[in-house]
Chains A and B, each alone.
Chain A
Amino acid sequence: MPAVSKGDGMRGLAVFISDIRNCKSKEAEIKRINKELANIRSKFKGDKALDGYSKKKYVCKLLFIFLLGHDIDFGHMEAVNLLSSNKYTEKQIDSMDSVKQSAALCLLRLYKASPDLVPMGEWTARVVHLLNDQHMGVVTAAVSLITCLCKKNPDDFKTCISLAVSRLSRIVSSASTDLQDYTYYFVPAPWLSVKLLRLLQCYPPPEDAAVKGRLVECLETVLNKAQEPPKSKKVQHSNAKNAILFETISLIIHYDSEPNLLVRACNQLGQFLQHRETNLRYLALESMCTLASSEFSHEAVKTHIDTVINALKTERDVSVRQRAADLLYAMCDRSNAKQIVSEMLRYLETADYAIREEIVLKVAILAEKYAVDYSWYVDTILNLIRIAGDYVSEEVWYRVLQIVTNRDDVQGYAAKTVFEALQAPACHENMVKVGGYILGEFGNLIAGDPRSSPPVQFSLLHSKFHLCSVATRALLLSTYIKFINLFPETKATIQAVLRAGSQLRNADVELQQRAVEYLTLSSVASTDVLATVLEEMPPFPERESSILAKLKRKKGPGAGSALDDGRRDPSSNDINGGVEPTPSTVSTPSPSADLLGLRAAPPPAAPPASAGAGNLLVDVFDGPAAQPSLGPTPEEAFLSELEPPAPESPMALLADPAPAADPGPEDIGPPIPEADELLNKFVCKNNGVLFENQLLQIGVKSEFRQNLGRMYLFYGNKTSVQFQNFSPTVVHPGDLQTQLAVQTKRVAAQVDGGAQVQQVLNIECLRDFLTPPLLSVRFRYGGAPQALTLKLPVTINKFFQPTEMAAQDFFQRWKQLSLPQQEAQKIFKANHPMDAEVTKAKLLGFGSALLDNVDPNPENFVGAGIIQTKALQVGCLLRLEPNAQAQMYRLTLRTSKEPVSRHLCELLAQQF
């Protein structure tokens, strides 16, 4: 027992520990522990008062038992009693430094536990002043406190910037031994330096030129020192030095305004990429990833491509390889896309399973974004399916179908390539899906070649049929009916397949229905009807790549930002925005969601084309003259996929001059007093009565998809007298015009007594907005002019797209939105009974997805969604914590845009 001889051990404790260590088995250990527990229990319960030493000894024994992993259910009071011992607490306070240090951190702890408890104002100056304290220990503690406090009240603590800079400057320029106790392996005060540099990252660059000059000097000094020969060979020396260096680089990246420093930082990191220390290579890759997105250093980062590729191939630590993959993704642009994509594909073959899906998404995005010719893109995606078919998500293969459908220059190549890929004896089911779809659409383009004649195509596909899942077989059946249209010579063969008992009487209802309907369609419909029903798919309306959205979901916001903002490659949007923008219709759902309709409905629905066909059967059977009408039916929204693109894009419509009678904003009165209250009623619902008085009732029905919406307003004349000059108009106050486009149809100027007129509004959200448009209604009733201004129930949350995500993704995203301005929080009293079901319904109505099993407290609600606007997407996370006892709620919103967080928080807080 070597330790006992040192210092002042408690003999009984040491003996006990030795006993435990000498136990030969788990059972013996438990026995010994139980014996000791019984002993301690009796001592604590005994009549004799224990002295401080014994109490301490027994509490220590209990602690040791607890450390071994056993439950302790007594002794707490004795432990607490020890606190009041006068043995050392009275004498503990020996130096003011120590007190200041502990007080600062204690305040920090209090503040974290309960921010409202810590008064600001008078304290601020005193706390900031601690940065000047002559004792480094006090400064170290104080910086932690200030860093935390200033995040909530940046302005109050602004004065800390200049103090921090001068403190930092003094440390950085001091000789390696100046700071004595605080010098660590020849590095002056490394931890304090790091903390100061982190504090500065809470603020933008200093406004004061002198302060800024001094700071830049510091940063340069740190970069210079990195080039000096080391003062010690010890790893502690280089680690401490590099801790400061990396934090300095973080600050330089945070400022993103000093091109010279950014490039120097990049060169420094470049040296580390080849360092023999794995830690440094890892940190350099990680840090460079952020440098790659700065316009100043992007080119400098690119020069290291070979080293990074090499890291991807040779690093032993998977986390280092992962950083290398991240960096390649971040540094990719048109100039190096082919090289990077091919290296990532090669890496994929041996990549760890845990990161394969992410690599697949990244490759798919890069291939699309930087495709110069689309045959390369098609090859890349098919390679992805070949190499890692299991990790190719729906988004990826939906996307390739969209692109092929929209680009006629690549359709022939795509058909040829999938045909070849399907020749492989074992090809992935995702390949069968892509192949089935593409051949069904464009198989005719390669049918001239006898090697890929229609019967060959069909038998190739059908050879895979029996091994596939129901969803894939359903898709293939649709391919077959399309073949009947494309290649009439295959009709007999295919009908025979459809007629087979295994199809017509398939246990799966979806397959059976398809077989029955397609068989009937092929026998009943004329060639013309067939040709119309089974026509080639119209181009898909362009949206942001759903793959990018998926990667963002996986990685949190910012993951795709380097590619997203197009800052470095402004031309790319035009050429490679994926596909040429095609006119979109208001009701067109998200292309990924409904492309194949497989995901929308629980039993796999038919692809849109054939779903349409199914529906058309009604027409076909109804009468010989039935005109195949492809227009959307309201009850089947997904059919609108079939709707040929509208002749004019919504923008073109919007560009139409507004009705001549449209009054300027100055002509309309202010909203009625209860307008806000009426608006609030519609935050979480889309339909209802917006307004009612003795004369008029206004009802609303609306639906929103992505960044588009359609609203029906119903104006009911409650009187028996006709309204005249009836004119409802929508007005955009302030900047709203640039944020929200609302196109209205004119309504009849007369509304008869007891009649109702309907007005349709097409709405497009261009970017985030805070105020709703105004609806001004004017008419004459019995000769008297009536005017009424309401707020149109269009709030930013209407453009929410709910996002399901796993707990893990949620946490990651939540964390990534940790800047104080990204968060908005409100604590408020409940205005309605606190019913969990009602709350749920409201949150769903609000538009976000409700995530179960994310919040450890089941009483709380957690939601996520993306606000879709034309210009940008805003990811939103929310959390609502009801406190039934206090009849209060706490609502927290985090989004990537500050005003949006606040606005959503305000909107939602009024609903409970």
Chain B
Amino acid sequence: MEHIRFILIQNRAGKTRLAKWYMQFDDDEKQKLIEEVHAVVTVRDAKHTNFVEVICVADSLSVLQFRNFKIIYRRYAGLYFCICVDVNDNNLAYLEAIHNFVEVLNEYFHNVCELDLVFNFYKVYTVVDEMFLAGEIRETSQTKVLKQLLMLQSLE
């Protein structure tokens, strides 16, 4: 049952800029995870891999979710983009999924910067939902995603 457990964007100070959960966690667990991700990711440098294994626990309604997870992350300026997946998921595929997502943001916001994510956080969620759904990669074509986003925007 591999799928994305959550997507997190944090800055270096640990402020959350986006948190999208694809699995049942209660608020305390979420907060703990956010802190843990920040702690493990920010200490790593270019000589380290873009992957960190973590262990988190949650009891979703359907199945036992005692699992070992890994965080696949990439740093852009002061922002860490993190995707949490199953340990045996394909690291590089998710690493590039992050980049694909960032390129879409960049196109959508015209040279995206952290402030765009702050002031337009609700739009960032829309971008996420276009590209990821139910914890799966939904759409990978940047052209398609941007087209859809513009269409949605025109409806506002």
Binding site for B on A (CB under 8 A): 1-4, 6-9, 13-14, 17, 21, 60, 63-64, 67, 69, 87-88, 91-92, 94, 98, 101-102, 105-106, 108-109, 112-115, 136-137, 140-141, 144, 148, 151, 181-182, 184, 189-192, 194-195, 198, 236, 239-240, 242-243, 246-247, 278-279, 282-283, 316-317, 319-320, 807-808, 810-812, 814-815, 818, 854-857, 879, 892
Contacts and interface: CB of A to CB of B under 8 A. Distances in A.
A137 B119 contact: no
Contacts of A892: 64
* 5 A-B pairs with the lowest CB-CB distances in the bound complex, closest first: A811-B66, A243-B92, A3-B119, A181-B141, A88-B155
Contacts of A6: 109-110, 116, 120
A190 B96 contact: yes
A191 B66 contact: no
Nearest to A856: B59
Interface string B74-108: 00000000000001001111011101100000000
Contact of B90 (A92, A247, A818): A247
B115 A279 contact: no
**A interface secondary structure, majority:** helix
Contacts of B49: 278-279, 282, 317, 319-320
Contact of A17 (B92, B118, B133): B118
A91 B62 CA distance: 34
Contacts of B51: 279, 282, 319
Nearest to B155: A88
A14 B97 CA distance: 30
A192 B48 CA distance: 28
A352 B138 CA distance: 40
30 contacts: A2-B113, A3-B120, A4-B119, A6-B116, A7-B153, A64-B121, A87-B155, A94-B151, A101-B133, A102-B138, A105-B138, A106-B133, A109-B135, A112-B62, A136-B141, A140-B140, A144-B134, A184-B96, A190-B93, A198-B2, A239-B95, A243-B93, A243-B96, A279-B91, A316-B48, A319-B51, A319-B52, A810-B66, A815-B68, A857-B59
Contacts of A194: 90, 93
A60 B156 CA distance: 15
A60 B122 contact: yes
A91 B113 contact: no
A54 B44 CA distance: 43
Contacts of A2: 113, 115-116
- Where chain B touches its partner, the secondary structure class is mixed
A198 to B, nearest CB: 7
B92 A279 contact: yes
B13 interface: no
A141 B138 contact: yes
Contacts of B140: 136-137, 140, 182, 184, 189, 191-192
A67 B16 contact: yes
Interface in B3-49: 3, 16-17, 19, 31, 44, 47-49
A368 B84 CA distance: 39
Contacts of B139: 101, 137, 140
A113 B59 contact: no
B1 A148 contact: yes
Contact of B115 (A3, A283, A856): A3
Interface string B127-149: 00000011111111111100010
Given A69-B31, A144-B137, A815 B87 contact: yes
Nearest to B120: A3
A3 B116 CA distance: 5
Nearest to A881: B64
Contacts of A320: 49
B92 A283 contact: yes
B125 to A, nearest CB: 9
B119 A1 contact: yes
A243 B140 CA distance: 15
Contacts of B134: 105-106, 108-109, 112, 144
A814 B63 CA distance: 12
A189 B100 CA distance: 12
Contacts of B118: 3, 17, 21
A63 B122 contact: yes
A354 to B, nearest CB: 11
A312 to B, nearest CB: 16
B153 A8 contact: yes
A148 B97 CA distance: 20
